[in-house]
Amino acid sequence: MTTPTMRRTDWSGTYFGGHAPQPQRASIHLMPTGLQIRTDDGKNLWWPYEDIRQTQGFYTGQQVRLERGEQLPEALVVSDTAFLAAVHRVAPERAKHFHDPARRDIRRALTVLAALAVIAISAALYMWAIPALATVVVSHVPVTWEERLGEGIIQKLAPPSKQCTEPKRLQAINQIVTALAATLPDHGYTFQVLVVSNPTVNALAAPGGYIVLFKGLLDRSDSAEELAGVLAHEMQHVIQRHGTRALLQRASIGILLAAMTGDVSSAATFGVGVASTLGTLSYSRRAEEEADTEAMRMLLASRVDPSGMILFFEKLQRKHGNSPEAFKYLSSHPAAEDRITNLQALSRTSHDEPRKLLPDFEWRDMDEICLVRPGS
Amino acid sequence: MNNPTPGQDAPKGSIGPGGEFVQGPPSHQEGAPRHRAEQDRTRTLKFFGSGRTLFGMWIVNVLLTLVTLGVYYFWAKVKVRSYLLSQTEFEGDRFAYHGTGNELLVGGLRAVILFGVPFLILSYGPGLVGAGGVTLGVSSLLASFIILAVPAFATVWALRYRLSRTSWRGIRFSFRGRVRDYVTLFVKGILLTTITIGLYYPFYAAQKRAFMVSHSYFGNERFEFDGCGNELFKVYFQAFLFIASVALFVVFVSLLTPFLTPFAMLLLPFVPILAWLFTLAEQRRFFWDHTCFRRCRFQSTVTVNNLLLLKLGNYALLLFSLGLAWPWVRIRTMDYDLKHLRLNGLLDLAAIQQEASDASAAGDEVAGFVDVGFDWG
């Protein structure tokens, strides 16, 4: 449909010669091969369409800006976007490189499609591509790199001054680790357990074979079998390389979000930080489930009584479910009930007679592990 | 600060239409052409940008950046910048951006080669090949030099590139400061700030701003800066006094009436935030109120109150939208910045001529990496 405005061939605009900041009012006549421009100070200009670049006027509210010339171009500014439609009518072939406002509706629809595509691509990257990429990359990271990475983490989390080093009790814990590790001869890691004098009920694994036990968790355990469950879980984090994987996935999400925001200014990262934390939560839940399952398999393979692990998790949930210290261990792990049900089901798959762990060790003595500390 | 004209020791007069000097007060001279009288007034900037349009652009930019594995990022940046400048109006005419995605891509690659590659080699190389001791120490020292040097280079290069690609009424802006001079200023500033435990910082900040402003040009005309560090020092000192007095107040309250201590403690987290906003607002006013262009002086109307409203709104928007609202935040911020900036005095453009220098895009991307904030308008 051709409107009267589109048939208009005479338009007015502002001309900038590019030498001095004095704008000139210009009358523009549309010709089939170019623009005839006459400025207020009497200049007559001829701009063939193929010499003209459109640099502005692609969006609502933007003026149309046409430029001609290379280094310091002359410019012609027209406020009315209908000008573009008129140019397209007068010179449909030669002015093809000008934006056509008639296509803005299509563009709007395309933008909605783009939004859907962005959601789909991000979801695909998040759900498949990033984990798959992490799997491939993680399997190629040498253990020595992981060890160096773990060392750095350990120095912050378990500084030597905070470590409990009573040799007899530490040796007892290491015996459990050795017994468990014997079931998987080819994992390539040297496990090192560090006990930290801290009332928090928590344990964690750092890449490269480091396992940190907080004294609070040790206090809650009543037998070697109970602790064996926690140790097996943390050892599996190391063997499955969950820590290294988490770092990679976090970095990938960071890159993905940076690509989305364009300029990551300090303000934008504030909101993005929240999104990125939420994003890594589901990855960590998956890792926890895997560590639970593999830990139970490890216990069964080394003929450790699996009820210790189940009992300990139940105890943590029942007795300390609402206390802030226990919350720390449980909150970073899958829903406690699901987890216990899952462990129980797995434990029933083996019918081997369990053996007693550390038969000669009085578990209550474990209390005194922090009596010897490097600082004391 | 409300001085209408810079260079107060200059003889009173005005510049005629042909650039000749006309004796007498600029605006009240009898028989002076009316347009000249009209020129001596307060001018403001207008901003027409819309969050919705920017959001649409952003969606498309994200898609294309993802699909091209990041390459489109540079073109996306150009689109956004061009849009924002084209929606900024001064004296009835809009600004224009002339940068291109190609230039930014080349600049980004150059930045990676110049800084990124040496940095990665120096910081991870020795560890990977198993070198230790002196080699490790020297290379990590060199790597930290690179980290220190990047902001200095980036600031100058980015400013040079960005201003050279910005125009108003067809006349380009430009930045003609030399990297060498800025690095000298930067090293001296950091050393003295460290030695004086921060006391020198306001003087350094004022010198930095003076360097940036006084090497910026519109056409062949230079911007001027006449602020000195003492004034900024007072601002920082006031902020310090504010924090110290509230802290003392809390100590007294807890000593005299211990049961009120928890309430007094509640004050504490807000104190640094308010002090930060106060310095931010005062510093912005100091920077602009001392910036002149020919016979005009800029004036900023930023206050703690309006800045607090802006920041609170922005953080709330970002937090509740998980960052999705950033196009609106960008528009809000730009609108705020421009709304609170004025130009007072006689705007005389007759003598201005185009005089643009070429600039490479390297610093612009370096600046993007290290996030050097420069609030030029």
Q: Is A211 helix (H, G, I), strand (E, B) or coil?
A: strand
Give residues 149 to 188 of B whose Cβ lies within 8 Å of A: 168-172
pLDDT for residue B374 is more than 90: no
Is the distance from CB of A295 to CB of A229 less than 8 angstroms?
yes
pLDDT in tens, B295-319: 899 999 999 999 999 999 998 988 8
Can you name the residues that pair with A313 across neighbouring β-strands?
none
Cα A284–chain centre separation:
11
Domain A4-99, what fold?
Answer: PH-domain like (2.30.29)
Question: Using a CB-CB distance cutoff of 8 angstroms, which residues of chain B are in contact with residue A14?
Answer: 93
- Could you give the CA distance from residue A203 to residue A285 in angstroms, rounded to a whole number? 16
Q: Which residue has the tokens 């109120």?
A: B289
**Partners of residue A271 in chain B, C-beta under 8 Å:** 318-319, 321-326
Confidence category of residue B328, pLDDT binned at 50, 70, 90: very high
Predicted-complex ipTM score: 0.74
Calpha distance A272→A248 (Å, rounded) = 17
B77 touches chain A (CB under 8 A): yes
User: How far apart, in Å, do the first and last CA atoms of chain A sit?
Assistant: 91
d(CA B351, CA B18): 7
- Paired tokens of A327: 């919350």
Average pLDDT of chain B, as a whole number? 80
Please judge whether A63 and B94 are an interchain contact, meaning their C-beta atoms are less than 8 angstroms apart.
yes
A146: chain B residues, CB-CB within 8 Å? none
How far apart, in Å, do the first and last CA atoms of chain B sit? 19
CB contact under 8 A, A61 and B87: yes
CA distance A111 to A114: 5
pLDDT in tens, A303-353: 999 888 888 888 877 755 544 444 445 555 556 677 888 888 888 887 778
Q: For chain A, what are the domain ranges? A: 4-99, 103-140, 142-371
Give one DSSP letter per residue of B301-330, joined into a string.
Answer: ---HHHHHHHHHHHHHHHHHTTTTTHHHHH
Give pLDDT, residue B2: 41
Chain B residue with the nearest C-alpha to that of A263:
B368
Among residues A269, A28, A59, the alpha carbon closest in space to that of B85 is found at A59
Q: Is A45 an 8 Å CB contact of chain B? A: no
Residue written as token pair 């980036």? B154
Q: Which of residues 253-292 of B touch A (CB under 8 A)?
A: none
For chain A, count helices (H), then strands (E). Answer: 13, 11
Residue type, B368: G
CB A264 within 8 A of CB A258: yes
B66 to A14: CB separation less than 8 angstroms, yes or no = no
Query: What are B152's two structure tokens?
Result: 């200095």
Q: How confident is the model at residue B30 (pLDDT cuts 50, 70, 90)?
A: very low
User: pLDDT for A255-285, tens place per residue?
Assistant: 777 666 655 444 445 555 555 655 565 667 7
pLDDT digits (tens, 9 = 90+) for B353-369: 887 655 555 555 555 44
**Which residues does residue A311 pair with via DSSP β-bridges, in sequence order?**
none
- Taking the C-alpha atoms of residue B227 and residue B213, their distance in angstroms, rounded to an integer, is 11
Q: Residue A364's Cα: distance from chain center in Å?
A: 43
